[in-house]
Structure formats: C-alpha cells, structure tokens
Amino acid sequence: MDTQKSEEQRSGRFSEDDLISLMDELCIAIGEVLMNFQFLHESILDQAVSQQTQEKISKLQSKLADERARLKTQREAAARKRELEKIRSDHERERERQANRSEQTEGRSGGSRMPLYDGHHRLVGWIEATNSKINFYDRNGRIVSREFADGIALGRDGSIRGRGKGMGLVVLGQSLRA
C-alpha cells in the first residue's frame, strides 16, 4: 500500500481517502477561521456599543454636574437674598425706632411747631419740623401735608402731591383755597 501511495503521489494524484481527509482538515480550518472571525466581529461590536454607552454616560454626568452647579448658585443667591432682606428689615425697624424716639422727645420738649401768618397777620396754619420731615397743619390743627428731606410732599391722604423744597407750603396754600 505504501508503494501505491508513493506512486500516486509521484504521479500527482491523490486517493479518495487522502482527498477526503484533506477536505476534512480544510473544513475544520475554515470553521475555526469563521469562528475566530465571528468572535472578533462580536468583540468589535461590543466595544463600539460599550464606547457609545460610555460616551452617553459621560454626557449625562457632565449635564448632572452642570445642573448641580446651577442649583448651588441658585441656593447661594436665595440665601444672600434672605440675608439682605433680614438686614433691610432690621435696618427699617431700627430707623422706625429712632424716628419714634425723636418724635416722642420732640413732643415732650414742647415741639417745634411754629405758626404761619398771612400778610394781614391772620393765622394760616402751623409748621412742625422733625429730623426727617416737615409737617404742615391747617389753622384747625389738622395735618395737610408732609414734606420729607428728599423734597417729596405727601397730601392728607398720603398721595404724592409734589417734589421739591417748599412743596408742603404749596399744598397748604391749595388746601386754604379749597
């Protein structure tokens, strides 16, 4: 038999058994190559999917960090606003207390009410000066207007009647004509 194989091999011919075994080896090798290819293909796809997922996670993490920073800024701003409101309200209360003290002190000392007369020496009204405002009264002692240090004059009902120094006298004059 060995002589037959060597004769067939010299002549370039293979027996059927040799061809079948070669085909089996070739099929096995092709199968292994296909399996390796499929494994590599799946591995590459898995890497691409995992990379896309990682990119999405990174984007979401950055958005979350930005949102946290925005919320922190808003919380700090709200805290500053509350603090400023508290300071403002404390300051207003203190100014009211000081104004009440000065009004009480002026009332005890007899006040600084001065009469106003017209050209015929008739009583027109009264002026009362305090630290931050001037009150104008008619001849019956009813308040007609208040003029503040910044020049705003308020009427009897609290509405703004004018701006500028001496506007309280104008309002008093208008009330006399009415």
CA atoms of 88 and 94, how far apart (whole Å): 10
DSSP letter, residue 9: H
70-128 pLDDT tens trace: 999 999 999 999 999 998 888 888 888 887 776 655 544 445 788 888 888 888 888 88
- For the chain, the structural domain boundaries read 112-177
DSSP letter, residue 132: S
27-49 pLDDT tens trace: 899 989 888 888 888 888 888 88
Predicted TM-score (pTM) of the model is: 0.33
Instruction: Choose among 107, 105, 175, 178: nearest CA to 136.
Output: 175
Residue 61, pLDDT > 80, answer yes
CA atoms of 81 and 92, how far apart (whole Å): 16
CA atoms of 7 and 31, how far apart (whole Å): 32
